[in-house]
Amino acid sequence: MSKYDRNRLNNMSSTELIKLVLDLQLKNSGLENDLKFHKEKINELFEKLVHFEQEIAQQKLISEKHQQALDLKLGNTFNINATWIDKIVFVLKSTGRPMRSSEIIEVLLKNDKTFRTLTDPQKGLSAHITKALKYGRIVGTKVKGMNGYTFTLPK
C-alpha cells in the first residue's frame, strides 16, 4: 500500500491533513514547473532536429549533384566527333555547376577514348579551354584561396 493508507489518514488530525495537502500541492506545483520546462526543452530540441534533418537533406542533394558530375556517364548523348570546345561546353552544361579543369578532365577521361590517349591531359585540355575562353563559350572565374580557375557557361 501507499505511504498514506486509508486507516492512517483517518487517524490524522485536521491540522496534519491540511499540512499533508499543502505539502502535496507544493510538490505538485514543482513537478508541474519541471514538466513545463521539460516540454519546452523537448519542443526546442525537436525544432532543432527538424532543422538539422532539412539541412542534411539539402546537403545530400548537393552531394549527389557533385557526385553525379564526377561520375557523369554521358553515353550516347556525348558526341565523340564534336570539337574539344563543344565537349567542354557540353560537360559544363550537363553538370549544371562551375567546374575546375581537373574535374572536366575526370569526366572526359571516363567518356572520351581519344582523350585517354593524351600523354598529359592537363596540357591537352588547357589549350582548348583557352580557346573556349577566347571565343566566349565559357567563362573563367578566379576563386580566392584556390589555385586555378573555375569554369562556367556564360549567362
Tell me: the pLDDT tens digits for 75-87? 556 677 788 899 8
**pLDDT above 60: residue 51:** yes
Q: Helix or strand or coil: residue 100?
A: strand
**pLDDT above 70: residue 137:** yes
pLDDT of amino acid 46: 92
The CATH code belonging to domain 76-152 is 1.10.10.10
Could you give the CA distance from residue 61 to residue 52 in angstroms, rounded to a whole number? 14
Contact 104, 122 (CB under 8 A): no
pLDDT of amino acid 131: 93
The grid coordinates of residue 7 equal 486507516
Average pLDDT, the chain: 83
Q: Could you give phi then psi for residue 151, rounded to 5 degrees?
A: -115, 140
Q: What is the largest CA-CA distance in the chain?
A: 104
**pLDDT above 90: residue 60:** no
Task: For the full predicted model, state whether its pTM sits above 0.75.
Answer: no
